[in-house]
Amino acid sequence: MDWEPGKKSVAEPSAWSQALLVELAVSPDGERLAAVLREEGSARVVVNGEPWETSFDKAWYLRFSPDGRLTALVNADMKWTVAVDGKPWEAAFGFAWNTLFSRAGDVMAACVQDNGRYLAAVDGKPWKQGFFDLSDLVLSAEGGRTAAVVQAKALAEGDVFAFDQGAFAVAVDGKPWDNTFVNCWTPVFSPDASSVAAQVRTSPREYTVAVDGKPWEQGFACVWEPRFSPADGSVTVPARTPKGWALVRDGRPLWDKTFAQVLSHEYSPDGSRVAAVVAPSFGKWTVAVDGRPWRARFDQAVFDLCFSPDSGRVAATVRHRGKWTLACDGTTWDESFDMVGPPVFSPDGSRLAARVRRGDTWTVFVDGKPAGDAYARAFDPVFNDDGVRVLVRGISARGLYFRQVVAL
Amino acid sequence: MEQTSTQTGDQGLEKSVARLTPDQIAKTLGEILKSEGGARLKAYVKTCMSCGLCADACHFYLSHENDPRFSPAGKVKQTIAPLLKKKGAVDPEFIKRAALVAFTQCNLCKRCVMYCPFGVDVAWLMLFVRRLCSRLGVVPQYIQDTAHSHSVTKNQMWVKEDEWIDTVFWQEEEAAEEVPGLTIPLEREGADIMYSVIAPEPKFRAQLIYQAAVMFHAAGVSWTMPATPGWDNSDMAMYTGENEIMGRLKRAHFEAAMRLRVKRIVMGECGHALRSVHDMGNRWLGWKTPPVPVTHAIEFYWELLESGKIRVAKKLKTPVTLHDPCNVARGLGLHEKARDVMAALCEDFVEMHPNREYNICCGAGGGVINCGPPHKAERLAASSAKAKQLFDARTRGARTIIAPCHNCHGGLEDIVEHHHLGMDLKFLGDVIYECMEKPWKKDEEEQGR
């Protein structure tokens, strides 16, 4: 990857064709701009002006995988599939959507529907078994396994009593758990992909977590997304207890504090710390790390919670008094914006960047200061390995796509 | 006085109540009253002086020849008041009766609140009764099924993920035939607005998505819709008392908007969804205000017309009247903006009386229409007050009712048919689509010449 500081114009999509440009995507290294162009009932994917060999009846959801391959959801002859660098998967379906990538990008998965049966397909290979419905598909980090919420039993229209008996399960690699539940949501793999945890409703009024199909003994008034600890494999979940919202580990309160709300939570990569988006009181939001809330409070939202790769820092996007900005370890950037993208840490965690929007322009900010030029549209910044350069990818108001490397 | 039957023909009530025992009721309700029946509940129930000023505000009371059982205070006396007095120790038949009153004889329209000298919010009390019934599993079958759909799909009509995306593609294709270059941008991160709708749109009224796309295209709006759950802003779980599902829905909706990095959410013409997004769902989650600003379609249309982004080519000639949906007028005060939009679009506007925040509910709101066929006859039996109001507007010329709310459409269509009023119904979006300037038409005409 070229990290030489400077700015170059990579592509001008408006010059490629008179066809209608409906979607754009940029490669992780910034060297390629891809577009879906539509004309006369067909859709063509074009990369830096070069069209894929095959055109399709429809194409959308352009996504570069982390390893740089370009994917699109494509439709031809009334069938949908995933096309990778122009080549559609051999198998095609009644519908395909929600392309997912493994961490390295070497494995891809998507939700598919065929003849009214719902399943997942991994690198073009569908699960052996389909279901009445499927949602919340996840792919393990290394890409070896898939899990999703499935409707495992038929439900007659309006049969509220059968619903209460439980018709939903998590299917892992196509095999459903033996237990069914009133609802299942947001399955997640353990770091080694050997286990799956999910939110479940065990009765219409009781929520808990099930790990590999087995629900915790403890029930709660409500729960949100579970997470596995990378350190010890325990499972934590925000849960509503009689004392308030708490972070619960393996069924027992983890922190001594409760809150008006605990939303998402995340572990540091080394598993030594856990952070959560919390509301210490109604309408006041912050981040709690290992149970200790930041002193700063935000009156509207805290989102995009994440740890730095070295596990040392925690950041989130925050909305306060109508403006968005970034907060890291309890300190907010001096400037605030109409919108911010998700926080991006340098590999050593020493720098923090995000794209920010003011009016109609987007700029990349690093540690609260602008880096590079302003664009009509910008993509998430990328740091080099030692964090001293940042890649800015943006499209100018005139429609030119630029790749800009800024020395920090 | 006519006796009200508790034989409902509704399995969600009959079968569920048959399974209840007094011990189970006392235990469950005792727990909920202790954990959720705070000062607000006690203040409301103890403050009510039974003065009866609320009675004339209620269309159920007016439509049932001033039967006091249908007055707001009367509903309190049949439900939460004795329940509190007995600390939850009531029998299954009481629960069925209370469920019937709270779910099907109150639209939660809050008109009575404006007439109460103490501001007792009977709608809130009836919602609390629904919450209690829900914890006992006693909920009308149809609306319970809708809430189940919310819990599974995060939309109210069991629309599966592929069906939603496919419907958007279909509407895009149709609209692009009329408007060259039109797209419905799914998942366009960084757009100015996320447009959200309610599930009956992709299911039954897909043309509304088409019309919105045409409007936004003409106005040059930067917009998107999510391809993920969160596209539906509606919320029947709010009305079944399943607050936990309500919170889950609103979280999905707002987090879709935050993920898409939009400046605000614009929602289609729906009343109850506004109540959920702007008041109840967000607050249950701990958000004092919506974490992403929300603009109702009425306000957005007003902006587009006021700014000249949409120009009116011709005004609607048919005499029209406006029904102010409870949740957007009493709930958010959008009635004047609705009239500004009407003035821009309609030549002959006949005001309904009473109107604005004093308007009478359509009879469908609060999830009452969602309780389904078993309760339709009773719903229509409570419609004469609304029918009278519509008939009055009709005698003064109105032929079309404009109602910027989906449930109001359902309720008003039933009333118009039941009372042979001979009026038709439109959304504001229907009228804008019909009357707006369409520059591409001019281009086509010029090319044709």
Q: Summarize the confidence of residues A372-389 as an average pLDDT.
A: 97
Give how far B375 is from chain A: nearest CA, Å: 16
- Predicted confidence (pLDDT) per residue in B333-387, tens digit: 999 999 999 999 999 999 999 999 999 999 999 999 999 999 999 999 999 999 9
Q: State both tokens at B187.
A: 């998942």
Q: Which residues pair with A311 in a beta bridge?
A: none
Q: Do B227 and A61 touch (CB under 8 A)?
A: yes
Distance from chain centroid for Cα A287: 20
Portion of chain A with pLDDT greater than 70, in percent: 100
Exposure letters A98-128 (e unless 16+ CB within 10 A, then b) = bbbbbeebebbbbbbbbeebbbbbbebebbe
* Pairing of the two strands B193-196 and B223-224: parallel
Q: Scanning every residue of chain A, which has its alpha carbon at the shortest distance from the alpha carbon of B133?
A: A205
Query: Which are the contacts of A177, defined by CB distance < 8 A and separation ≥ 6?
Result: A169, A170, A171, A210, A212, A213
Residue B2 has pLDDT above 70, yes or no: no
Interface of A with B in 250-309 (CB under 8 A): 260-261, 263, 279, 282-283, 285, 299-301, 303-304
Number of Cβ atoms within 10 Å of the Cβ of B429: 21
Query: Could you give the C-alpha distances from B174 to A260, B184, B210, B256, B310, in angstroms and in order?
Result: 47, 11, 7, 26, 21
Residue B76: which region, alpha, beta or left (left: phi > 0; alpha: psi -120 to 50)?
alpha
Please spell the DSSP secondary structure of A240-300, one letter per residue. EETTEEEEEETTEE-SS--BSEEEEEEE-TTSS-EEEEEEEETTEEEEEETTEE-S--BSS
Q: How far is it, in rounded angstroms, from Cα B216 to Cα A298?
A: 33
The pLDDT, as a whole number, for residue B50 is 86
Q: Where are the alpha helices (DSSP H) in B105-196?
A: 111-115, 122-135, 141-153, 161-178
Q: Summarize the confidence of residues A145-165 as an average pLDDT.
A: 97
Q: Scanning every residue of chain B, which has its alpha carbon at the shortest distance from the alpha carbon of A159?
A: B145
Query: Could you give the C-alpha distances from A110 to A124, B122, B197, B247, in angstroms and in order?
Result: 9, 48, 25, 28
Contacts of A111 in chain B (CB under 8 A): 161-162
Q: Categorize the per-residue pLDDT at B3 as very low, low, confident or very high, splitting at 50, 70 and 90.
A: very low
The pLDDT, as a whole number, for residue B6 is 63
Residue B182: which region, alpha, beta or left (left: phi > 0; alpha: psi -120 to 50)?
beta
Interface residue A132 vs chain B (CB under 8 A): no
Portion of chain B with pLDDT greater than 70, in percent: 98
Model ipTM value:
0.98
Whole-prediction pTM value? 0.97
Q: How far is it, in rounded angstroms, from Cα A136 to Cα A151?
A: 12
Q: How many CB pairs under 8 A join A and B?
A: 107
The pLDDT, as a whole number, for residue B449 is 56
Interface residue A153 vs chain B (CB under 8 A): no
Polymer length of chain B: 449
Query: Which are the contacts of A61, defined by CB distance < 8 A and separation ≥ 6?
Result: A23, A71, A72, A73, A97, A99, B187, B227
Interface residue A162 vs chain B (CB under 8 A): no
The pLDDT, as a whole number, for residue A114 is 97
Interface of A with B in 383-402 (CB under 8 A): none
Q: How far is it, in rounded angstroms, from Cα A236 to Cα A253?
A: 9
- Angle, CA B344 vertex, CA B342 and CA B348 arms, to 5°: 60
Number of Cβ atoms within 10 Å of the Cβ of B395: 9
Q: Do B285 and A204 touch (CB under 8 A)?
A: no
Q: Smallest Cβ distance to A282: which of B160, B229, B286? A: B286
B interface mutation test: which of A160, A225, A259, A277 has the most B CBs within 10 A? A160
Q: Do B35 and A242 touch (CB under 8 A)?
A: yes
Interface of A with B in 24-53 (CB under 8 A): none
A interface mutation test: which of B131, B143, B153, B162 has the most A CBs within 10 A? B162
DSSP 8-state symbol, B133 = H
Query: Could you give the C-alpha distances from A11 to A2, A46, A390, B98, B446, in angstroms and in order?
Result: 17, 11, 20, 67, 35
Distance from chain centroid for Cα B71: 22
Give how far A234 is from chain B: nearest CA, Å: 25
Which residue type is seen at B326?
C
- Asked whether the beta carbons of B172 and B195 are under 8 A apart, the reply is no
- Asked whether the beta carbons of B215 and B209 are under 8 A apart, the reply is no
User: Locate tokens 């914006």: which residue?
Assistant: A337
Q: How far is it, in rounded angstroms, from Cα A20 to Cα A39?
A: 6
Q: Categorize the per-residue pLDDT at B448 as very low, low, confident or very high, splitting at 50, 70 and 90.
A: low
Q: Do A97 and B227 touch (CB under 8 A)?
A: yes
Contacts of A319 in chain B (CB under 8 A): 291
The pLDDT, as a whole number, for residue B7 is 74
The pLDDT, as a whole number, for residue B439 is 86
- Three-state DSSP class for B174? helix
Q: Do A221 and B153 touch (CB under 8 A)?
A: no
